[in-house]
Structure 1
Amino acid sequence: MDFSEKSPTIKQLRITKTGKESGKMYHSPHQFEPMSLSDRQLEEVQPLVEQIVRSSIKLTAAAHETTRAGLRELVRQMNSYYSNRIEGQSTHPHNIERALHNDFSRQPDEARLQRIAIAHIDAEIALELHIGNESALTTDFLIEAHRALYERLDPEDRISDDGEVIVPGQIRTRDVEVGRHIPPTAASLPAFLERLDQVYGPTRSWERTLITTACAHHRVAWVHPFLDGNGRATRLQSHCALWKLSEGLWSPNRGLARSTTAYYAALQNADSARRGDLDGRGNLSAAGLFEWVKYFLGICQDQVAYMSSMLALEGIKQRIEALIIFRSTQDKSIRREAILPLVHIFGLGPITRGEFAQMTGLGERSARSLLSKLLADRLLVSDTPYGPVRFGMPLNSLGMIFPNLYPEVDQLLA
C-alpha cells in the first residue's frame, strides 16, 4: 500500500484495472508476514500500552454518564468528519450538524458530502451495537463495517474514482493497483482473509487488543479487500475494536487525521520489504511494522490524554465559567449565575428545573428566564417540556468547552 506524500487524499489512491506483469503480485498469505510484534518489541511498547489502558479506564469514570453519552455523540460526529477528511471528502462540522437535523445544502456536491457524513455516523452507531462479546477484528466485522457504511448511501453517492458503483460489503473480484502498491490478487483474497482471522480474530486482554488493532489496521489496508472504501472500513473497525476500552469517549481517527502526512508515511513504511537479516524473518519489514505500531499507539495515547484533560473537573469548571462570562457580555439574558448549576450538571448529572433555580440563587422569574435561554441555546437539554435538564454540547460552544476538538469550529462565535 503506497501513498503519495504530496497531498495524500483518496484521489491519489488511484485504483486501476490490472492483470499485467509489471510489479510484484501477492498471492500467498506468507507474503504479508510478520503480522505481529516480536517478544522484544512487545516488551518495549508494554509501558506505553499499560499507560493508555489505565488512562482510558480512568476516563470512563469521568463526568456523569449523561455527559459521557453526549460526548459519545460528539465523538461519532468527530469520527465522521475526520475519517472523511482523510479521504478528501469532508464537510464542515457545521454542515454535519445541519444534516443531523435534516437540513441539507442545495448545492449538490455539498449535500453529497453531508449524506456521506451522516452515513458514517449511522454506520458507527450500528456497528457499536453489533460488537457484542466477540472481537471486532474479524474479517466478518470488517465486511460488516463496509456494508454498514455503503448500504446507507444511494448508488450515486458510492461511485469509485473510475466510475464503478461500490457494492456494500463485497470483496473485490478483480486485481487492482493502489498508487505504486499492488495488493494481493483477487483470487487469493479468501486465503489472506482467513489468515487475518487466524492472527487477529481471537479476543484478547485490553493491552494486547491495542497492539493487535494497530497491526490489523495496517495489514488489512495492505490487503485492500474492497474495490473502494478500504480506509473508511478499516478506521471503523479500529474504532470498534477499541470501543470496549474507550467506551466511545475517544478514537484514533482524530489523531490520524490531524497528522495525515505522518499517518500515510507510517503506513507506507510498514509496506516495505524485509531490510536484511536483522529485520525479522517475514517477507515484509518487521521494523516497518513496529514503527507503525508505535505511531498508532502514540496516537491513542494522545487522544486519551486530550479527552482526559477535557473532562477534568477543574479544567471544565474554568472553561464553562469563561464561556458564560463571554456570552453574558454579548447577551444580557445569559447570567453568571448559570455557572454553578452547569458545572454541577456536567459532573453529577441531570437536575430538576426547580433544583436549577435554587442553585442559581435567583428569583423564580429570573431563574426561569435563564433556564429558558440555556435550553434555547442548547447548553442545557431536556427530553420533555418540564423534565430534568442535562448538559448540552452545541457546536458553537465547543471552541471554549472542548478547545481544539474541531479546530474548524474554534472560530465560531461562542
Structure 2
Amino acid sequence: MALTPFTTQDRAPGDLKDAVLELMHLDASLNANIPKPMRLPLIRLQRLANSYYSNKIEGNRASPGDLLCTQNDSKDAEVAPDLLEIKHHADARLRLAKDPIDAAAICTRESISRLHSELYTGLPAKHLLIKVGADGEPASLAPGEYRTRGVKVGLHIPPHADEIGTYLTWFENAYRLNRLHGLAPLLAAAGAHHRLLWLHPFIDGNGRTGRLFTDEYLTAGGLKGYGLWSMSRGFAGDADAYYAALRAADHVRKGDLDGRGALSDRGLLKFTEYFISIALEQARFVSALLEPRTLNRRIDHYFHMRQCSGLPRADGKSLPTLRIEALHLYRSLLESGPMQYSDIQAKLGLSESTTRDLLGQMAREGLIAMGDDSQVSMRLSGHSIMTLFPGLL
C-alpha cells in the first residue's frame, strides 16, 4: 500500500513554508542566545516536562506538584505508579542523550525498537501487564518487540501485523534525513509522527514511542535548540485537538485530487500545519521565558520571597528562609558560569562558616551543584521552577 510520506516543499502552501522558516530562525536564535550556564539545567527541566506531558496525553494523572516533590527520588519502590512512569520516561531520554542514535539510523526498525524498549527498561514486571483485545485479555508487554496480532485503536484499524515489516522498510527509506534538505526535515517530521502512530507497530506504548521518536528526529534534523522546548507540552495543551489532527491524517484518499497514496493528502497537510503551529508556539513560549529582563525579575522575586520565607514548597509546606546573598550568587552563576568556592566567599563578603552554611542549604535545596573540585554551578530546583518558569509545568 502506497503512502505519501510528507507534504513536500513544492506542495506546501506559502504560509506553511513561512511558518517552517520562522521556526528554524526562532530555534537557532534560542540556541544561540540562551545563557550557557542555563542551558544544561533547562534541558534537564525540559526532559522532565516533556516526559510529564507525553504521559499526561495517555491519561497519566500525576500533578506537577507531585512530580516536583519526587524528581530527586531514586527509590522506584516508593514512587506511585504514575510518577514511576514519568520518571522512567525521563530516564529514557537521559540515556538517549548519553548514547544517541546516529542521525542516519534514526528511522530504522532497530532504532524504533530501541526507543520503545528504553521507555520500559527497568520497570517492575507488574507495570508491564496490559490488557489486549476486545475482552481485555491480560498480557505481558515485551519492550522493543513489534506486535504479532491485530489491534483496533478507536475507529482506526492499523495494518495487519504481517505488514509491519514492509511498512517499517518503507518508513526508513521515506524519512532518511541524509536525503532531506532545506525545509524538508521539518515537514518530514510531521509526516513521520503521524505515519508511525498510524502504523501502531507495538501492542502498547505507541503514542509515547512516537513522541519520543519525534524528539529524536527533530534534534537529528537540525533543530539545535530542541530540548530547550518540547512538542509534547503543546500536544498535551489540547489533547483533543492533537487526536483530531491525527485522525484527519488517518482519512483515506478522497478522489484523484487528494493525492496518489492510500491516505488523504489533505488530511496530511492539515496535520502538518497543526504540527508546525505547535512547534512555533512552544519555541515562542520558551523564548519569552528566557527574555533576560523578565527572567531576572523572576529570579529577584524568588530570592526576595525566600528571604521572607514567603514561598511554599511543591508539597505545600513552607520553605526555610534564605539569605539574600543567595540571589547575588545565583545571578553571578547565571551570568558568568561555575565559580570556585574561594571566589564565592570573597565575592559575597561573608565569613567562611556563613558561606559554607549558605552553600550547603542551596545545594540541599537543589539550587546549586557542588563538584568534587570545589566548583559551584547553578541548578533549577523543584520549588523554584514554578516561579522562574511559570506555566512550563
Classify the TM-score, shorter chain.
0.7 to 0.9
Q: Specify the alignment match of 1:160 in structure 2.
A: 130
Q: Specify the alignment match of 1:325 in structure 2.
A: 304
Residue 383 (structure 1) shift: 2.1
Moved more, 204-213 or 265-274: 204-213
Q: Specify the alignment match of 2:327 in structure 1.
A: 339
Distance change in 2, residues 1:151/1:324 (3 Å):
closer
Does the 8 A contact of 2:302 with 2:387 survive in 1? yes
The reply to whether residue 279 of structure 1 matches residue 258 of structure 2 is yes
- Within 5 Å, which residues of 2 pair with 1:204-283? 204-205=180-181, 207-244=183-220, 245=223, 246-283=225-262
1:173 pairs, out of 140, 144, 148, with: 148
Q: Specify the alignment match of 2:86 in structure 1.
A: 117
Moved more, 145-154 or 263-272: 145-154
Aligned-partner Cα distance in 1 for 2:276–2:110: 25
Residue 338 (structure 1) shift: 3.1
Residue 228 (structure 1) shift: 0.8
Aligned-partner Cα distance in 2 for 1:169–1:375: 38
How much is the aligned-residue C-alpha RMSD, in angstroms?
Answer: 2.4
Residue 42 (structure 1) shift: 6.0
Aligned-partner Cα distance in 2 for 1:87–1:403: 24
Aligned-partner Cα distance in 2 for 1:282–1:247: 31
- Within 5 Å, which residues of 2 pair with 1:6-405? 28=1, 30=2, 33-38=3-8, 39-41=10-12, 43-97=14-68, 98=70, 100-104=72-76, 111-128=80-97, 129-162=99-132, 163-203=138-178, 204-205=180-181, 207-244=183-220, 245=223, 246-330=225-309, 333-362=321-350, 366-384=354-372, 387-405=374-392
Does the 8 A contact of 2:116 with 2:209 survive in 1? yes
Does the 8 A contact of 2:308 with 2:321 survive in 1? no
Aligned-partner Cα distance in 2 for 1:312–1:373: 28
Q: How many residue pairs end up in the alignment? A: 372
Distance change in 2, residues 1:104/1:186 (3 Å):
closer
Residue 144 (structure 1) shift: 1.2
Residue 174 (structure 1) shift: 1.3
Aligned-partner Cα distance in 2 for 1:393–1:170: 37
Residue 247 (structure 1) shift: 4.8
Residue 72 (structure 1) shift: 1.5
Moved more, 236-245 or 132-141: 132-141
Residue 250 (structure 1) shift: 1.7
TM-score (structure 1 length as normaliser):
0.83
Could you give the per-residue CA deviations for residues 311-334 of structure 1, whole angstroms, max 9, x where no partner exists? 232222111001011111117852
Structure 2 gaps, min length 5: 133-137, 311-319
Aligned-partner Cα distance in 1 for 2:146–2:358: 55
Structure 1 gaps, min length 5: 1-27, 407-414
Distance change in 2, residues 1:205/1:367 (3 Å):
farther
What percentage of aligned pairs have identical amino acids? Answer: 31
Aligned-partner Cα distance in 1 for 2:346–2:218: 41
Three-state SS of the structure 1 residue aligned to 2:201 is: coil
Aligned-partner Cα distance in 1 for 2:260–2:271: 18
TM-score (structure 2 length as normaliser):
0.87
Three-state SS of the structure 1 residue aligned to 2:140 is: coil
Distance change in 2, residues 1:161/1:55 (3 Å):
same
- Paired residue type of 1:273: V
